[in-house]
Chain A
Amino acid sequence: MALHEQRETAVTAWDAAASVVDPEIRVVTVAELGILRDVDTVDGRVVVTITPTYSGCPAMDVIRRDIGQALAAHGYPDAEVRTVLHPAWSTDMISEAGRQKLAAAGIAPPSPVGAGPVPLRLGVRCPRCGSPDTEELSRFGSTACKALWRCRACQEPFDRVKPL
């Protein structure tokens, strides 16, 4: 296959894989979440590389399946989905569009982790009313990547993607 054809294939396959939504947070795609690492063609076959958010993320099997199905629907029936651990996923890998979609869905996006060993404790704004008067109820929430918070202003509980 000529180089330009390979590139064209890779772009289209990337778009197909990138359109898959996270099965547990259905407002963001795997690309926006930062878990889609690479889409390539190896010997004419599409190879997708993804990385888990948390080691035990139970959504990985579904994500693998969904990516395979999305590619098959776009003419890549024998795509392979590989999992890598390095570099370890960080919430800093969530795209700006992803953060905005999370907030719009009532899920507070994470504050930046940066290079430090301890996540910054910046104020968390309520994704519903915008108040900074919020408190953490539990470090662990409805999925591995979220914590449970509450807004003291509007009294509503909300999820927050916790910095990792």
Chain B
Amino acid sequence: MTGDHRVPEGQLAQYALRVGDDALIAAQRLAEWSARAPEMEEDIALSNIALDQLGVARFLLSLAGGADGRSEDDLAYLRDDAEFRNCLLAEVPNGGPTAPPGASGDFGVTMVKLLLLGAYQLCLYERLVDSSEASLAEVAGKARKESRYHVDHAAQWTVRLGDGTATSQARVQQALDDLWPYTHELFEDDPLAVWAAEAGVGPLPSSLRAAWDAIVLPVLEEATLTVPPAGWHPTGGRDGRHTEHLSYLLAELQVLHRAHPGASW
């Protein structure tokens, strides 16, 4: 697979694309809860967080597409799964990594995932505000303030569920066990990330780990959850090698635009 590890042309666009794809796919997953959340307040909260993520994705995809004349819609609706650069964690279904297509969501999985992914995004945006690329820094300057609310929300629920009943504790511990392996990919220093760090565009992913730990680990401890032992490290999202779940997600995301090109309302 060494051929896949070359940094493609237009590194800056590729870099904006991976950060934007994380937000876009996270937004789509959260939006699946709309009208299906366990209570009305959560329905509104998850939809709001999805909207924040979508807003960030739109800015970043516009940036990424600007390099070769593609619009944010071109990038969101007309790429196939292997062209997406999001981390695998973002695409994990709301029912968990082993949920079959169409399975209903699990609120505990969603909250633990929002904690793990949201904390990563927060740590990344906190560093991207110092990016040598002004447009990235400006997006991050807004996004980090919103991310703090996402992480705070997820942390509150993780504690409430983890330090809750025996059933809720067991379920979020299972969610953590299932999701934890996907967090390792977030901190991999692949060639594009190394390029970004050397160019002052973005932080080295491995350098985010300490800040991420400082957010996530105290929450897990307060939630009486146990960090799983080191296990497998699924990876490949940054190179376009995704789980089968992304294809189903994209089918729903893209079907309208592909059936009715340029549709608007």
Q: Mark B48-64, 1 if CB is under 8 A from A, else 0.
A: 11111111101100000
Q: Number of B interface residues, CB 8 Å? A: 28
Which listed residue, B45, B53, B55, touches A57 by the CB 8 Å rule? B55
In the complex where A55-B55, A139-B152 touch, is A85 in contact with B139 (Cβ < 8 A)? yes
A57 contacts across to B, CB distance below 8 A: 51, 55
Is A76 at the interface (CB under 8 A from chain B)?
A: no
Q: Mark B35-50, 1 if CB is under 8 A from A, else 0.
A: 0000001101100111
In the complex where A54-B51, A55-B56, A58-B51 touch, is A87 in contact with B45 (Cβ < 8 A)? no
Which listed residue, B45, B55, B59, touches A140 by the CB 8 Å rule? B45
A144 contacts across to B, CB distance below 8 A: 48, 51-52
Which listed residue, A56, A88, A138, A162, touches B41 by the CB 8 Å rule? A138
Contact of A138 with B44 in the complex, beta carbons under 8 Å = yes
Is B70 at the interface (CB under 8 A from chain A)?
A: no
Q: Mark B131-151, 1 if CB is under 8 A from A, else 0.
A: 000100111011101101100
B137 contacts across to A, CB distance below 8 A: 86
Is B153 at the interface (CB under 8 A from chain A)?
A: yes
Is A154 at the interface (CB under 8 A from chain B)?
A: no
B138 contacts across to A, CB distance below 8 A: 84-86, 88
Is A11 at the interface (CB under 8 A from chain B)?
A: no
Contact of A88 with B51 in the complex, beta carbons under 8 Å = no
**Using a CB-CB cutoff of 8 Å, which residues 69-93 of chain B contact chain A?**
none
**Using a CB-CB cutoff of 8 Å, which residues 9-57 of chain B contact chain A?**
41-42, 44-45, 48-56
Quote the shortest CB–CB distance from B65 to chain A (angstroms). Answer: 16
**Using a CB-CB cutoff of 8 Å, which residues 79-126 of chain A contact chain B?**
84-90, 118
A63 contacts across to B, CB distance below 8 A: none
In the complex where A54-B55, A55-B146, A56-B56 touch, is A86 in contact with B44 (Cβ < 8 A)? no
Quote the shortest CB–CB distance from A12 to chain B (angstroms). Answer: 30
Quote the shortest CB–CB distance from A158 to chain B (angstroms). Answer: 14
B148 contacts across to A, CB distance below 8 A: 118
B152 contacts across to A, CB distance below 8 A: 139
Residues of A near any B CB (own CB < 8 A): 52, 54-58, 84-90, 118, 137-142, 144, 148, 162, 164
Seed contacts A55-B58, A85-B139, A141-B48; 6 additional CB < 8 Å A-B pairs: A52-B55, A55-B146, A140-B41, A140-B153, A144-B52, A164-B146
